């Protein structure tokens, strides 16, 4: 089998177990090497020392009597022993130092992870492990998923703060209006008559709708939403939404038409939830289309799905707003929708979550301001 060295190094670098193995081997080799070198350097001196202690000179050694041979052997063994002890001690010290250095190097990524997770636990969600410090082994994977988790936590934190800011802002407007009206009534500046109470009623109604929307948003966001799916005829679904709205459209002078392609299959959906989505889209179309405008609800087959579209010739959506309208509390024209008693900018966020819970997609198209808009969503056919 051909050994590819680059591939081998890659496999080696990508597995923590091989690195531990290599660390052990390195320490053993360093200890062995240090032992050999220390012995090589110390043996001659040890030998000479023992010879000197015996008082034996080179001539006597050469003459070779039995006692002298034994003494020579003992001196040699003592010298080797000395040298062994010295080199073992040196090898031990060198290998401990090498092991310390290697373990420091190997545990550095773990220390970084510990440090980073402490920073996150302390509320510093911006903390990351720098990419150039991420290895290609299992610890590197752990560091990458850690960074991913930190990214997610940071965006949740940003969203949380934004949501609290948005909610307080939304609550402040009607509350200020109610408080102002009540103060006016108490001071006698405002007359205690029907129109004043109606004004207060409208603001409390707005507050109630906001709280209901927020509750609904929490439900769809937390996946606590349970779909009660049943087979339904699309024409029944459309009728259930369009008929009750006909009067409201007629009162504003906006024409409402619905077209359902023939031969469409039944959909297995939570009928109430799909009606809620259609109601929201038609309600928006009515809200953002002036008198004498037109709104068309169309349903047709689109591959493996059924495509619903709500088209209006109303105020349209400018390109800079189009990507944001599904974000919570986003309103293209804040002053207008408030003045008109409009919603809080949560409706489309909820509608999108409901369609996605059915496995579909919801999006918007508009050629620009005053060019009308079309909201489309798909529901897969089972």
Residues forming the site for ligand ADP (CB under 6 A): 280, 284-285, 288, 312, 314-315, 317, 325, 330-333, 337, 342-349, 373
Cβ distance to ligand ADP smaller for residue 347 or 360: 347
Q: Give the three-state DSSP class for 180.
A: helix
Cβ distance to ligand ADP smaller for residue 116 or 285: 285
What is the chain's length? 382
> Could you tell me the smallest distance in angstroms from the CB atom of residue 349 to ligand ADP?
6
The 3-class SS string of 186-246 reads: HHCCCCCCHHHHHHHHHHHHHHHHHHHHHHHHHHHHCCCCCCCCEEECHHHHHHHHHHHHH
The CA-to-CA distance between both ends of the chain, in Å, stands at: 51
Cβ distance to ligand ADP smaller for residue 98 or 332: 332
> Could you tell me the smallest distance in angstroms from the CB atom of residue 4 to ligand ADP?
57
> Could you tell me the smallest distance in angstroms from the CB atom of residue 226 to ligand ADP?
23
> Could you tell me the smallest distance in angstroms from the CB atom of residue 191 to ligand ADP?
32
Closest by CA to 244, choosing from 286, 192, 213, is 286
CB 296 within 8 A of CB 351: no
CB 168 within 8 A of CB 207: no
CB 217 within 8 A of CB 349: yes
Cβ distance to ligand ADP smaller for residue 95 or 373: 373
* Torsion angle (degrees, nearest 10) of CA 127, 132, 135, 141: 40
Cβ distance to ligand ADP smaller for residue 27 or 254: 254
Cβ distance to ligand ADP smaller for residue 109 or 316: 316
CB 223 within 8 A of CB 262: no
> Could you tell me the smallest distance in angstroms from the CB atom of residue 338 to ligand ADP?
9
> Could you tell me the smallest distance in angstroms from the CB atom of residue 152 to ligand ADP?
25
> Could you tell me the smallest distance in angstroms from the CB atom of residue 7 to ligand ADP?
54
Closest by CA to 237, choosing from 295, 308, 287, 312, is 308
Cβ distance to ligand ADP smaller for residue 150 or 282: 282
Measured CA to CA, the distance from residue 282 to residue 252 in angstroms comes to 13
């Amino acid at each position: 089998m051909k050994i590819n060295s680059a591939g081998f190094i890659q496999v080696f670098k990508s597995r923590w177990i091989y690195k531990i193995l290599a660390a052990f081997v390195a320490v053993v080799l360093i200890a062995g090497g240090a032992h050999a070198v220390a012995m090589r350097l110390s043996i001659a001196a040890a030998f000479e020392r023992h010879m000197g202690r015996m008082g034996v000179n080179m001539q006597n050694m050469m003459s070779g009597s039995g006692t002298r041979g034994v003494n020579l052997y003992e001196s040699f063994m003592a010298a080797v022993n000395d040298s062994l002890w010295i080199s073992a001690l040196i090898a031990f010290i060198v290998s401990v130092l090498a092991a310390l250095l290697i373990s420091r190097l190997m545990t550095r990524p773990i220390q970084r992870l510990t440090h980073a997770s402490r920073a996150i636990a302390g509320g510093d969600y911006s903390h990351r492990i720098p990419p150039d410090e991420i290895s290609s082994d299992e610890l590197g994977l752990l560091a990458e998923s850690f960074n991913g988790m930190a990214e997610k936590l940071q965006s949740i934190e940003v969203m949380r703060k934004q949501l609290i800011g948005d909610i307080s802002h939304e609550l402040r407007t009607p509350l200020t209006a109610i408080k102002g009206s009540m103060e006016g009534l108490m001071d006698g500046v405002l007359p205690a008559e029907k129109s004043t109470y109606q004004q207060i009623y409208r603001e409390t109604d707005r507050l109630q709708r906001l709280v209901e929307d927020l509750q609904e948003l929490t439900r769809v966001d937390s996946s606590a939403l349970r779909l009660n799916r049943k087979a339904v005829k699309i024409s029944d679904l459309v009728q259930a939404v369009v008929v009750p709205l006909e009067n409201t459209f007629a009162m504003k002078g906006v024409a409402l038409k619905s077209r359902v392609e023939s031969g469409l299959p039944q959909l297995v959906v939570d009928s109430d939830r799909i009606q809620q989505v259609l109601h929201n889209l038609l309600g928006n179309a009515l809200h953002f289309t002036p008198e004498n405008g037109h709104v068309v609800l169309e349903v047709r087959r689109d591959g493996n799905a059924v495509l619903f579209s709500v088209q209006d010739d109303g105020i349209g959506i400018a390109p800079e707003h189009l990507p944001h309208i599904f974000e919570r509390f986003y309103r293209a024209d804040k002053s207008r929708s408030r003045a008109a008693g409009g919603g809080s900018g949560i409706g489309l966020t909820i509608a999108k979550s409901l369609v996605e819970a059915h496995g579909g997609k919801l999006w918007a198209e508009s050629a620009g301001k005053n060019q009308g808009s079309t909201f489309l969503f798909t529901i897969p056919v089972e």
